[in-house]
Chain A
Amino acid sequence: MQKWFTLTLALTLLACTKKSLEYGLDIKDTIRINCQTEPPTMDWTKMHDTASHMVSINMMEGLTGIDYDNAELPATPKLATEWTTKDARVWTFTLRKGVKWSDGVEFTAQHVLDGFERLLNPKTGSTYSYLLFPIKNGEAYFKGEVKDFSQVGVKINDKGQIVIELVKPMSYFPYIMGHQATFPIRKDIIAKYGEDKWADAGRIATIGAYNLKIWDHDKNIVLERNDNYYGDKAKTKNILVYMINDYSTAVNLYHSGKLDFQEQLPSNEARGLKTDPGFKQRPMLGLYYYGFNVKKPPFDNAKVRQAFAYAIDRKQITDLLAGGQVPLNGFIPPGMFGHEADVGIHADPAKAAKLLDEAGFKDRSHFPRVTIGFNTDETHQRIAENVQAQLKKNLGVQVELANEEWKVYLNHLITDAPNIYRLGWIADYPDPDTFYSIFLSNSENNHSGWTNKTYDNLVAQGASELNKEKRRQIYLKAQKLLTEEELPMLPIYVQTYSSLISPRLKNFPNNPLERIELKGTTIQ
């Protein structure tokens, strides 16, 4: 018996190693953030979610970045030192010299072209391929109509610059070069490890201030300072990324000193957290809106849509949510070029009732049954209930609420959108085009069924106009059409971020695109 016991004990001791706590990182040189969930990928050509983006933005850079210190958020040099264009159709980017990848390999123009080729290659299956469709033959290459990538409008000229030829002028094109999907790619690494396996720790090479040191799936990611970075080296050595789904849990960890940054807060706890010294609330370049299905009565009548817009006081909704959201009557959020404070319809119950009378619904009992659709979520529910009450009070119209699980709802939007549907939109790049293109006649994201030639033309003109003042005027017209006359949707508010940032962090990034680039952040 004793023999067996000794044997078991010996086996036991052999069998175990101490679990290392937090990967042996020095807490004084580590920023601890939460990206909410396991990032689906670190492959920047393919990523399309906030968690991956939050990590990746610290590791990778493209030709351009964004100057957050300037209120208009212009594009700023990163891997390209400058760019020129005469007509906004042909763009020439001059590349930075002496840039090295984290594994010491020199960065070349070919890496940029390889990134473009991979993004446009249908085999890659990137969700952002369409970003390069404006490039000559870009879409044709994606569709397989052009087989040879050298026919796509991207060239390296004899000065080593990258020359990009677009199908038509596009004034905001430099922003596209700052989107992660267009970042340079190392084909040698992909060839070595495989299309889906290269973007993991120990394999991936990056160009940004950090590189990927450990990826402990479903638990943590550790980023380490990239000593080959071309710019000012990262101030803090490591970033430890947690993947905690539950907001309240993350807040608990923050309070117990285990987390330095939590990006989003539980809406029901945000009020109580306002007194926390690390509490920060900032508006972001994101909309919350209600779309109207204009293909079905009663919203096929613009007067009914206007009546609804006059009947709903957006301020009541933001007061109800009390999360710092800003009521929005126009279409472009403040902080972005093209925002106009006095555009859009403001609540006016008397006018609302009058418009609905004019639309032929003087007898409200004849008003068709109308449904507000939204995906199941407490905040969406509260907003819909408030809207329901306002419509009842101001218009005497009874609407119904219908919530569905997220993917069922998305499917429903495509096949047969509810009379009124809730959606949001967060800017891909800080240019109004990111918002205006939602409601283009051929947009996949326009679930309203509203098509308007004038609007399409205005948006196209706006995209190609280089003169700022002229561009502003064009967009003003588009905005008025959208939010005062036609109203395929009703803007409700500008979304905000409510975050907790530990006071031990100094110089924490602060920008309306919520890009958490931590290279300048220090720890006290």
Chain B
Amino acid sequence: MNGLLKVLRLAPWILFGACVLISFCGFNLNPIFIWLTLLSFVVELGLVAVKKGLVFYMLRRLGEALVTLWLIASLTFLLLRILPGGPFDEEKALPPDVKASIEAKYKLHDPLLKQYADYLKGIVTGDLGESYKYTGRNVADIITESVPDSVQLGIYSILVAYLIGIPFGVWAAARQGTWIDALLMTLAISGVAMPSFLIAPIFILIFCFGLGWFEPALWLGPAYYVLPTIVLGIRPAASIARLTRASVLEVIRSDFIRTAKAKGLEESKVLFKHVLRNSMIPVLSLTGPLVASVLTGSFVIEQIFAIPGSAKHLIQSVSNRDYPLILGMTLLFSALLVIANLITDLLISVIDPRVKMS
């Protein structure tokens, strides 16, 4: 029974790993497989919540999240109407009658309150409306068609950020004050300071046109995935490395580590078992902001590497004043952020017994 539970606890991570591997090798994931993974994570979260007595807390947080989303939706709606310039203002100006007939078609002549009510009703029933710019395309369709590539890019980058950031941070801390420490931290600071629109062309020049290892743009397989992932992951990796180093140094100096060392435990065991686990708390709490930074960073990366993701819609829909699409994209990105923050809080409570949520 206990063994089965353990496997169940591991299942989401195995599934997740499989998803990442399969997608990275350039295969299409079956949606059922993705849903299965998501479901297993939800089950896992539920188990954790029950075990830690956090059910009520989680429900409250979910309620708060919904209120936040409602506020964002309303504010966006309002701000869009204040923004000068309408969806059908074009360089070749339309005769007023033609413009009026188009606006009437999209119900832009309804009273504002009615438009708002219709819009909220649409969100609740899952109907985000039709895009003004892309004739006949539903906003929900645009989102579901473009989000997978963005999620793929985002997850790879976050993984890269952790996989590079944590080991380098630990390494630098373990060699504190040596040239390795100095070199790694210089790299980290450059990584934080260099904007991706500078790194990307440099990498393209070196790895595509110089060495010929990767493709300069598009999103069709492993050779296409590597560069955007790394460029997007570099900045968070650098922040993680710096934070890990600081956190590890702080933990190393604490009393219980001195005790562990005094007991005669091996250096590596102390470092990986005691130090690392305890120093991961601040690093994990970075996940929320990390997701935010990957989301915002993906605008530039998707543009430079011509990745058919959803980030460009957020920008272009604003330039086009495509109200339904702007609202849909804003809701999507805010929901992602809210969820990321929620999960981060839960993760911390799992790892750090000192953190009490109620």
- Chain A, range 26-58, C-beta contacts under 8 Å to B: 37-38, 40-41, 43, 46, 48
- With A196-B135, A218-B145 known as contacts, the answer to whether A143 contacts B89 (CB < 8 A) is no
Chain B, residue nearest A8 (CB): B14
B93 near A15 with CB under 8 A, answer no
A410 near B18 with CB under 8 A, answer no
Contacts of A122 in B (CB 8 A): 97, 101
Judge if B204 is at the interface, Cβ distance under 8 Å: yes
- Nearest Cβ in chain B — how far from A374, in angstroms? 13
B220 near A21 with CB under 8 A, answer yes
**Docked CA distance A8–B18 (Å):** 8
- Nearest Cβ in chain B — how far from A353, in angstroms? 34
Judge if A435 is at the interface, Cβ distance under 8 Å: no
Contacts of B141 in A (CB 8 A): 217
- Chain B, range 138-165, C-beta contacts under 8 Å to A: 141-142, 145-146
- Nearest Cβ in chain A — how far from B197, in angstroms? 10
A127 near B30 with CB under 8 A, answer no
A217 near B136 with CB under 8 A, answer no
**Docked CA distance A12–B92 (Å):** 53
Contacts of B92 in A (CB 8 A): 48, 127, 425, 428, 445
Chain A, residue nearest B95 (CB): A130
- Nearest Cβ in chain B — how far from A287, in angstroms? 12
A414 near B89 with CB under 8 A, answer yes
A249 near B142 with CB under 8 A, answer no
A41 near B135 with CB under 8 A, answer yes
Contacts of B303 in A (CB 8 A): 245-246, 249
Judge if A71 is at the interface, Cβ distance under 8 Å: no
Chain B, residue nearest A9 (CB): B18
Judge if B33 is at the interface, Cβ distance under 8 Å: yes
**Docked CA distance A412–B146 (Å):** 33
Judge if A493 is at the interface, Cβ distance under 8 Å: no
- With A197-B136, A218-B308 known as contacts, the answer to whether A248 contacts B86 (CB < 8 A) is no
Contacts of A248 in B (CB 8 A): 201, 304
Q: Which of A200, A246, A253 has the most CB of B within 10 A?
A: A246
- Chain B, range 172-191, C-beta contacts under 8 Å to A: none
Contacts of A125 in B (CB 8 A): 98, 101-102, 105
- Nearest Cβ in chain A — how far from B132, in angstroms? 9
- Chain A, range 79-122, C-beta contacts under 8 Å to B: 122
**Docked CA distance A123–B18 (Å):** 50
Judge if B208 is at the interface, Cβ distance under 8 Å: yes
Judge if A191 is at the interface, Cβ distance under 8 Å: no
- With A19-B27, A255-B209 known as contacts, the answer to whether A411 contacts B134 (CB < 8 A) is no
B94 near A406 with CB under 8 A, answer no
- With A407-B86, A407-B321, A444-B94 known as contacts, the answer to whether A46 contacts B135 (CB < 8 A) is yes
A12 near B86 with CB under 8 A, answer no
Q: Which of B3, B27, B85, B303 has the most CB of A within 10 A?
A: B85
- Chain B, range 185-237, C-beta contacts under 8 Å to A: 201, 204, 208-209, 215-218, 220-221
Judge if A507 is at the interface, Cβ distance under 8 Å: no
B93 near A444 with CB under 8 A, answer yes
Contacts of B26 in A (CB 8 A): 18-19
Contact with A along B10-29 (1 / 0, CB 8 A): 01001100100010001111
Chain B, residue nearest A447 (CB): B93
Judge if A252 is at the interface, Cβ distance under 8 Å: yes
B30 near A16 with CB under 8 A, answer yes
**Docked CA distance A22–B220 (Å):** 9
A253 near B217 with CB under 8 A, answer yes
Chain A, residue nearest B23 (CB): A16
- With A43-B135, A423-B91, A444-B94 known as contacts, the answer to whether A217 contacts B145 (CB < 8 A) is yes
- Nearest Cβ in chain A — how far from B161, in angstroms? 24
**Docked CA distance A23–B26 (Å):** 14
Contacts of B221 in A (CB 8 A): 19, 21
**Docked CA distance A25–B27 (Å):** 19
Judge if A17 is at the interface, Cβ distance under 8 Å: yes
Q: Which of A11, A46, A252 has the most CB of B within 10 A?
A: A252
Contact with B along A212-225 (1 / 0, CB 8 A): 00000111000000
- With A249-B305, A256-B208, A424-B91 known as contacts, the answer to whether A16 contacts B84 (CB < 8 A) is no
Chain A, residue nearest B93 (CB): A444
B216 near A199 with CB under 8 A, answer no
**Docked CA distance A19–B319 (Å):** 32
Judge if A258 is at the interface, Cβ distance under 8 Å: yes
B102 near A407 with CB under 8 A, answer no
B135 near A256 with CB under 8 A, answer no
Judge if B32 is at the interface, Cβ distance under 8 Å: yes
Contacts of A142 in B (CB 8 A): 97-98, 101
**Docked CA distance A46–B98 (Å):** 12
Contacts of A123 in B (CB 8 A): 101, 105
Chain A, residue nearest B103 (CB): A125
Judge if B245 is at the interface, Cβ distance under 8 Å: no
B29 near A15 with CB under 8 A, answer yes
**Docked CA distance A129–B26 (Å):** 46
Contacts of B28 in A (CB 8 A): 16-19
Judge if B36 is at the interface, Cβ distance under 8 Å: yes
- Nearest Cβ in chain A — how far from B106, in angstroms? 8
Contacts of A246 in B (CB 8 A): 303-304, 306
Contact of A244 among B29, B217, B220 (CB under 8 A): B217
Judge if B137 is at the interface, Cβ distance under 8 Å: yes
In order of increasing CB-CB distance, the 3 nearest A-B pairs are A407-B85, A196-B136, A15-B33
Chain B interface residues (CB < 8 Å from chain A): 3, 7, 11, 14-15, 18, 22, 26-30, 32-33, 36, 83-86, 88-98, 101-102, 105, 130, 133-137, 141-142, 145-146, 201, 204, 208-209, 215-218, 220-221, 303-306, 308, 312, 316, 319, 321
30 CB-based A-B contacts, threshold 8 Å? A1-B3, A8-B14, A11-B18, A12-B33, A15-B30, A16-B30, A17-B28, A17-B30, A18-B27, A38-B134, A40-B133, A122-B97, A126-B98, A127-B88, A129-B101, A130-B95, A196-B136, A217-B146, A242-B306, A246-B303, A248-B201, A252-B209, A256-B216, A405-B85, A410-B89, A410-B93, A411-B85, A424-B91, A444-B94, A445-B93
